[in-house]
Structure formats: structure tokens, C-alpha cells
Amino acid sequence: MNEDEVIRALGALAQETRLRIFRMLVVAGPQGVLPGHMAEQLGTSPTAISFHLKELVHAGLASSERDGRHLIYRASFDRMNGLLGFLTAHCCEGQPCEVNAVVCTDCS
């Protein structure tokens, strides 16, 4: 991915509802999700879902396929992986990165 594509993708994800929709698409995997199901699960209108899906498709993070009367939306996993690859390219100057998990001992 180039910087313009990364900026478009991150911009699409920088909105609460779109981020939730994208995560739902990722969880669904290749099976995909119908917009009506997304609206029901997220407690928002089908019109709002359509608007946000259009933005995710425009950013290349989702795709749609017609199945009879329905549109099935899926996450574009290659694009998601490209975004992650761009963000982590040259991480730690090419050295293996160790992530030290912080354990909260005061959390209940």
C-alpha cells in the first residue's frame, strides 16, 4: 500500500461505527454479513450502515457481492494485511521486536 491508500484506510476506520462494522466483518470471515444483520447488531439504522459500508468499500477495506436480492459484505483481508504490513514495516529497525505485556495487578 502507498501512503495515500493507508491514509484513506485509517481515515475510514477512525470513526466509531465504521470501526465496529469493520470488526464485525473481520469476525464473520469469508462468509460475510448482511447489512440488515449489522444494523440490528449495532443498533443503528440500515441507512447509516449503508453510508458507513460505502466508506469502507471506497477505502478498499470491504467488498460486496450480490446474492439474489441481498448484498453480502466482507472484509478485504488482503487490504487489512497490507495496512498492517505498512504500519509495521521496518519495525524496530529490522530487529525482532519483543512486546512486553503490562500486567495490571490492581485491576479487578
Predicted local confidence at residue 108, as pLDDT: 47
pLDDT digits 0-9 by tens, 6-35: 999 999 999 999 999 999 999 999 999 999
pTM for this one?
A: 0.84
Coil/strand/helix, residue 43:
coil
pLDDT digits 0-9 by tens, 57-72: 999 999 999 999 999 9
Indicate left, alpha or beta for 56 from its phi (over 0: left) and psi (-120 to 50: alpha): alpha
